Chains A and B, each alone.
Chain A
Amino acid sequence: MDILIILEDNNGKIHRMGLESIAAAQKMAGGLGLSMGAVVMGANANSLAEQAAGFDIGEVLKVEHELLASYSSDGYAQAVKQVIEQENPTYVIFGHTYQVRDYAPKVSAKLMKPFLVDNVAVRTDGGKAVFTKQMFNAKLFSNVTPNGDGPYLISFQSAAFSSEKAEVGSAAVRDCTLNLDASMINSESETPFQEEAGGVDLTSADIIVAVGRGIGKEENIPLARELAKAIGGELASSRPVVDAGWLPSAHQVGSSGQSVSPKMYLALGISGAIQHVVGMKGSKNIVAINKDPEAPIFEIADYGIVGDVLEILPKLTEALQS
């Protein structure tokens, strides 16, 4: 096959970004006239294979091995490398999940083939694919092309394609046997755990007042807290605010925090880095205040103010209170 899609297990279901990868691969296959196949892996991959077979993806490769029962970067990198060597695809498509970020660079190094990461779009041009990636914290975009012969490893950013666009169909399932050995795995993983949420449930809030680096310092956090109270919303933040210790991590929205879709998301001094945006772009109304007119948050905002949050915040709170 020409395009190999790597599907990730998310508690027994195909990871949402896997479905997005299917949509991406279908677009590329159509534009370039290529064939497709998908891989599912695990100690028992029957259920995932069955789910994958319901899509229009040509073929599903089922890889089963006890060393793939739980995730390890070495095990998964070996497995994906071996599947690539057996199938010799031109493109290998991943969702840009945290797991992929962990092991796919290893596959790239083992094969000495490029990994074009975190793309937001692909266009096919004269039989070649050109990928678009955000750079410089999403302030600029760039077109990136792989050089030399494939396989090329490609990942797409969350929501670059809609999972609903993945076309259903019927794919045959084929068993795929690999040579994996416990000596290939250099790490021991413990059971994943979740840290205390601290009683902050942002997912059910109608209004969220979120602060970013632009709030300036910890002493200014109460200004945002007052505003949240005055408008009847929950206080949230982007990652830099949590990293700086100004708010507990339970307030964090984004890829490593909560995903929210309130009626109104008021982004105060948030630049709009993709790690934050993936957690809030489903909001019904996004209102952004930022002193940098070039801040990427304005790309997705419904309403925008270019200005100093520290000047606007107290007056806004006062106006709401009266």
Chain B
Amino acid sequence: MKIAVLVKQVPGSESPLPIHSDQKWVDEGAVAYVMNESDSYALEEALQIREAKGEDEVVAVSLGPDRIQKVIREALAKGADRAIHIQVETKGAIDPLVTASHFADALREENFDLIFTGLQSDDVGMGQTGVILGEMLGMSTASLAMATEVTEGKIKVKRELEAGWFQWVSLSLPASVTIQSGLNTPRYPSLKGIMGAKKKELKVVTPNAVEANQSLAKVFVPHSDKQTVMIEGSVDQMVEKLIDTFRNEIKVI
């Protein structure tokens, strides 16, 4: 069985996000990048399936400029067998139809049995690439997986619904499944894995340009109409003011 995992490099949750002077994107030079959170769960799920079956191949695939090779190396260090880097500039690129068609072109001839992606990216958060890619490659699709079970010719997926509900869905292979955070415990790369990653195959492909169907006109910092009372001072002063707020303003103590 061949499994592709799509991993994306995104700003970390505590990264600075200064807006570029053209107001079309963030200043990438100031950003601290990490592997997208749900993608790291998707990678772990693929690695666990391979380890249970023994004979599978896990291929990490990522799209973006050269800086993304850091997450590709991370995926290889964690255990992916080889990787594909779709080399393209992604500043201000938000259209999932474009992203998915680049992936489709790079993956079509590989004939993967399974494609795993994170549910959505922590940067633009379109949440569509995995499903669109599956559709473009004629695969079955399911989203928001909280558990997977691979059997002969099928994958069973526990889908998250709203407000604490779940549903098991059985899909015929090949299938593209988007993975929700929390379904496993992503591993850390071992020292041996990190050393070995350098020797693994990393194929770089350059996609053809595709016209975008949606565009980002402007990025800006939100402002809220809500007046937030900021409580300041030393820790002791803040605690004292907080107690006073609980007692006299909110009246909960």
User: CA–CA, A259 to B164, complex, Å?
Assistant: 10
Residue of A141, A191, A258 near B219 (CB, 8 A) is A141
Chain A residues contacting B252 (CB-CB under 8 Å) are: 206-207, 231, 263-264, 285
Q: Are B136 and A102 in contact (CB under 8 A)?
A: no
Chain B residues contacting A271 (CB-CB under 8 Å) are: 13
Give the residues from 151 to 184 in chain A that come closer than 8 angstroms, CB to CB, to chain B: 152
User: CA–CA, A268 to B164, complex, Å?
Assistant: 23
- A219 at interface, CB cutoff 8 A: no
Chain B residues contacting A130 (CB-CB under 8 Å) are: 217
Residue of A108, A135, A187, A312 near B169 (CB, 8 A) is A187
Chain B residues contacting A223 (CB-CB under 8 Å) are: none
Chain A residues contacting B249 (CB-CB under 8 Å) are: 285, 303
Closest Cβ neighbor of B38 among chain A residues: A243
User: CA–CA, A238 to B125, complex, Å?
Assistant: 18
Q: How many residues of B sit at the interface, in one of the four size bands?
A: 35 or more
Q: Are A116 and B214 in contact (CB under 8 A)?
A: yes
| Distance (whole angstroms) from the CB of B151 to the closest CB of chain A | 13
Q: Are A305 and B132 in contact (CB under 8 A)?
A: no
Q: Given A73-B141, A302-B228, A307-B235, is A97 in contact with B97 using a C-beta cutoff of 8 Å?
A: no
Residue of B142, B162, B217, B228 near A256 (CB, 8 A) is B162
Q: Are A194 and B231 in contact (CB under 8 A)?
A: no
User: CA–CA, A187 to B163, complex, Å?
Assistant: 23
| Distance (whole angstroms) from the CB of A226 to the closest CB of chain B | 14
User: CA–CA, A135 to B120, complex, Å?
Assistant: 11
1/0 contact trace for B180-202 toward A, CB 8 Å?
A: 01100100000000000000000
Chain A residues contacting B144 (CB-CB under 8 Å) are: 98, 101-102
Q: Are A192 and B161 in contact (CB under 8 A)?
A: yes
| Distance (whole angstroms) from the CB of A187 to the closest CB of chain B | 5
Q: Are B245 and A146 in contact (CB under 8 A)?
A: no
Stretch binding the partner chain, chosen from B1-9, B69-77, B236-244: B236-244
1/0 contact trace for B116-130 toward A, CB 8 Å?
A: 000000111111100
Main secondary structure of the interface of A (DSSP, over half): mixed
Q: Are B220 and A141 in contact (CB under 8 A)?
A: yes
Q: How many residues of A sit at the interface, in one of the four size bands?
A: 35 or more
| Distance (whole angstroms) from the CB of A280 to the closest CB of chain B | 14
User: CA–CA, A245 to B127, complex, Å?
Assistant: 24
- B148 at interface, CB cutoff 8 A: no
Q: Are A299 and B171 in contact (CB under 8 A)?
A: no
1/0 contact trace for B214-250 toward A, CB 8 Å?
A: 1111111110101011111001101110110110011
Chain A residues contacting B128 (CB-CB under 8 Å) are: 105, 108, 115, 117
1/0 contact trace for B155-179 toward A, CB 8 Å?
A: 0000111111111111110000000
User: CA–CA, A115 to B169, complex, Å?
Assistant: 24
Q: Given A187-B171, A302-B228, is A142 in contact with B162 using a C-beta cutoff of 8 Å?
A: no
User: CA–CA, A296 to B224, complex, Å?
Assistant: 10
Q: Given A117-B126, A245-B185, is A106 in contact with B224 using a C-beta cutoff of 8 Å?
A: no
A sample of 5 more A-B contacts (CB under 8 A), given A135-B124, A142-B216, A305-B242, is: A117-B127, A138-B222, A231-B253, A299-B222, A303-B242
Instruction: Give chain A's interface residues, CB within 8 Å of chain B.
Output: 73-74, 97-99, 101-103, 105-106, 108-110, 112-118, 130, 133-148, 152, 186-195, 197, 206-207, 213, 231, 239-240, 242-243, 245, 249, 255-259, 263-264, 271, 284-285, 287, 292, 294, 296, 298-307, 311-312, 315-316, 319-320
Q: 6 tightest CB-CB pairs across the interface, nearest first? A: A243-B182, A114-B213, A105-B128, A109-B135, A105-B131, A186-B140
